[in-house]
């Protein structure tokens, strides 16, 4: 890398737009969506999709709700042509869906494209030619007028063939892209778009699609938005044009550039699922759509089963959705941080007490995972950075334990120590096993052999058999309830004095076979506080066992 001064690169040019309006606008409705997964996405794959895989992806696009789908480049290869014919001949295209096909401004390719469309009910023919100075000079060897002539000649032929197609029952709409719009002088972009429109003669009823692609993302999203707003203001045929975005992600801001482009006046968005595409990819339509959803705007796309969308995408493209990919990644609804987990746990409890249609308001979770077919199981995961709230959430939501709040700290600290020693994430099953071993199954040095309560005149008498330090004791105690009586009975065994600080219980599961879980907090002269728990089909027995678990743990701490 060069050190200062950097002479190898220069800042992208900006335009003078002091009265820009897009910063004061809000997106209130979804754009027209066009999936380019089967063309732009497919051409970027190390192993392009087979016809069968493309058919499965096409069906997925239809199911998600795309009404415009760019299905390929039929003039480029026989596979692309055959795919188009299968869609048409096998009547796979719903009546409300436009298939879109891309073509360069060459007569033979345009004619081949129309040949591939015979028998289709409706289609969009997408013409493009690159317009930026470098490609004008290096690739085409043409001046500006030569590039305009190239676009105009292509448009003229498409208009002629479109009229013939309409006569044969195929409705043709037209899209034009000044490819590399992001690198082209803004005035020249307008000039070539106006020239194309002058030939096509669009109307308010039959609009042209003018696609303004950030083929290479070279500037911050606000600069892209300025360019889109400038074009919307200055195009000769704006009222007869649909302004479309096609944003790549070279700077990592494709989603932001698209959203600001929508604010700037664009009507339509082309992109791919999960941002597949050349180099760093196209804009991720899943992110743009669900970002709208989290702002209360219907995206008009159905991502209610994002897991299925991801599974089909990964299988057909052989690409992987990154674990941090918004909305669909494995870890995007996961918190490892203790403070985050605690806030999420509290937020979830509050949310569950609200009506089903209440405003979603959970710390760190901008969307309800259930809305897109995700579960709550992965929201909180435990490692050495985690805290008490996260452990409590796992034990409650995965296994049903509603521990008293004061117990969270003790359990969390114990689980955190295990995670710290392992240096790894703890799966829920391991957390559960550790919880049972430390807090529930503690039957030494005091072990219960049997207990028989008798209640007379408001006083409970307990007859208990316990083993203390290997010696069997049969003892009796009285109290104002079973637990109080059991504590008094234990004191006759010579166990270190203790007192009960708190007690709680709840059922674990439902139905006649449901078990009960009891939590006991005890205090001894040497241990300030110590919790124990126990599970049994009989709640009274669970309480006795919880007392022993807490006392055994206190003796172990001592």
Per domain, the residue ranges of the chain are 29-317, 338-439, 446-557
Which pLDDT score is estimated for 558?
58
The phi-psi region of residue 297 (left if phi > 0; otherwise alpha if psi is between -120 and 50; otherwise beta) is beta
Q: Is 328 exposed, middle or buried (0-12, 13-18, 19+ CB in 10 A)?
A: buried
Q: Residues near 257 by Cβ (< 8 Å), separated by ≥ 6?
A: 214, 217, 221, 224, 225, 245, 247, 283
Does 234 have pLDDT greater than 70? yes
pLDDT band of 100, cuts 50, 70, 90: very high
- Cα 165 to Cα 60, 101, 121, 504: the distances in Å are 28, 15, 10, 77
pLDDT at 78 over 70: yes
Alpha carbon 508 to its chain's center: 32
Helical spans, DSSP H, in 90-143: 107-116, 133-135
Round to whole Å and give the CA distance between 440 and 534.
5
Distance between CA atoms of residues 547 and 556, nearest Å:
14
Average pLDDT over the chain, rounded to an integer: 93
- How confident is the model at residue 383, as a pLDDT? 66
Q: How far from the centroid of its chain's Cα atoms is residue 63's Cα?
A: 18
What do you get for the CA distance between the two ends of the chain, in Å? 62
CATH hierarchy code of domain 446-557: 3.30.160.270
pLDDT digits (tens, 9 = 90+) for 130-179: 999 999 999 999 999 999 999 999 999 999 999 999 999 999 999 999 99
Give the pLDDT confidence score for residue 135 in this predicted structure. Answer: 94
Q: Could you give the C-alpha distances from 97 to 62, 66, 70, 153, 272, in angstroms and in order?
A: 8, 7, 11, 28, 17
Q: What confidence score (pLDDT) does residue 184 get?
A: 96
Give pLDDT tens digits for 236-253.
Answer: 999 999 999 999 999 999
User: Does 29-317 match 446-557 in CATH topology?
Assistant: no
CATH topology of domain 29-317: TIM Barrel (3.20.20)
- Cβ atoms of 344 and 383 within 8 Å: the answer is no
- 420-474 pLDDT per residue, tens: 888 888 888 999 999 999 999 998 899 999 998 877 667 888 889 999 988 999 9
Mean pLDDT, rounded, for 347-356? 90
Q: pTM for the complete prediction?
A: 0.79
CA 440 to centroid of chain Cα atoms: 37
Which CATH topology does 338-439 take? Answer: Helix Hairpins (1.10.287)
The pLDDT confidence band at residue 384, using thresholds 50, 70 and 90, is low
* Residue 525: band (very low, low, confident or very high) from pLDDT cuts 50, 70, 90: confident
């Amino acid at each position: 890398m060069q050190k200062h001064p950097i002479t190898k690169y220069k800042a992208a040019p900006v335009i003078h737009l002091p009265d820009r309006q897009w910063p004061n606008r809000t997106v209130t409705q979804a754009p027209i969506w066009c999936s380019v997964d089967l063309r732009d996405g497919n051409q970027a794959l190390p192993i392009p999709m087979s016809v069968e895989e493309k058919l499965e992806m096409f069906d997925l696009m239809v199911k998600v709700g795309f009404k415009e789908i760019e299905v390929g480049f039929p003039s480029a290869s026989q596979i692309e042509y055959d795919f188009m014919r299968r869609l048409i001949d096998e009547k796979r295209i719903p009546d409300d869906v436009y298939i879109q096909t891309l073509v360069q401004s060459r007569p033979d390719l345009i004619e081949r494209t129309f040949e591939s469309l015979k028998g289709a009910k409706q289609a969009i023919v997408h013409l493009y030619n690159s317009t930026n100075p470098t490609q004008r000079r290096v690739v085409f060897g043409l001046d500006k007028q030569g590039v305009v002539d190239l676009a105009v000649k292509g448009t003229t032929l498409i208009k002629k063939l479109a009229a013939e197609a309409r006569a044969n029952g195929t409705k043709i709409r037209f899209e034009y892209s000044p490819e590399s719009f992001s690198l082209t002088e803004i005035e020249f972009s307008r000039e070539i778009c106006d020239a194309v429109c002058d030939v096509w003669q669009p109307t308010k009823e039959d609009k042209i699609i003018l696609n303004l692609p950030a083929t290479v993302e070279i500037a911050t999203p606000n600069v892209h938005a300025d360019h889109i707003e400038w074009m919307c203001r200055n195009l000769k045929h704006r009222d007869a044009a649909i302004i479309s975005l096609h944003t790549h992600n070279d700077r990592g801001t494709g989603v932001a550039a698209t959203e600001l482009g929508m604010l700037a006046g664009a009507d339509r968005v082309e992109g791919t699922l999960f941002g597949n595409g050349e180099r760093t990819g196209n804009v991720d339509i899943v992110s743009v759509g669900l970002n709208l959803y989290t702002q209360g705007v219907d995206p008009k796309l159905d991502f209610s089963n994002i897991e299925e969308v991801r599974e089909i995408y990964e299988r057909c493209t052989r690409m992987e959705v990154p674990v941090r990919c918004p909305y669909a990644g494995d870890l995007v609804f996961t918190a490892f941080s203790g403070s985050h987990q605690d806030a999420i746990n509290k937020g979830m409890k509050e949310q569950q007490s609200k009506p089903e249609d209440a405003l979603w308001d959970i710390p760190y979770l901008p969307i309800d995972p259930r809305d897109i077919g995700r579960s709550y199981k992965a929201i909180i995961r435990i490692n050495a950075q985690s805290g008490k709230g996260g452990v409590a959430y796992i034990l409650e939501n995965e296994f049903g334990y509603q521990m008293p709040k004061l117990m969270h700290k003790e359990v969390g600290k114990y689980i955190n120590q295990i995670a710290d020693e392992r240096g790894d994430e703890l799966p829920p099953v391991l957390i559960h096993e550790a919880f049972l071993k430390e807090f529930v199954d503690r039957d030494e040095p005091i072990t219960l052999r049997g207990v028989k309560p008798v209640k007379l005149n408001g006083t409970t008498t307990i007859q208990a058999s316990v083993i203390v330090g290997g010696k069997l004791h049969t003892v009796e105690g009285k109290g104002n309830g079973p637990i109080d009586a059991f504590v008094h009975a234990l004191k006759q065994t010579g166990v270190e004095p203790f007192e009960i600080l708190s007690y709680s219980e709840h059922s674990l599961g439902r139905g006649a076979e449901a078990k009960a879980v009891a939590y006991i907090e005890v205090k001894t002269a040497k241990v300030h506080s110590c919790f124990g728990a126990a599970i049994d089909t009989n709640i009274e027995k669970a309480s006795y066992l919880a007392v022993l678990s807490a006392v055994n743990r206190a003796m172990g701490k001592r």
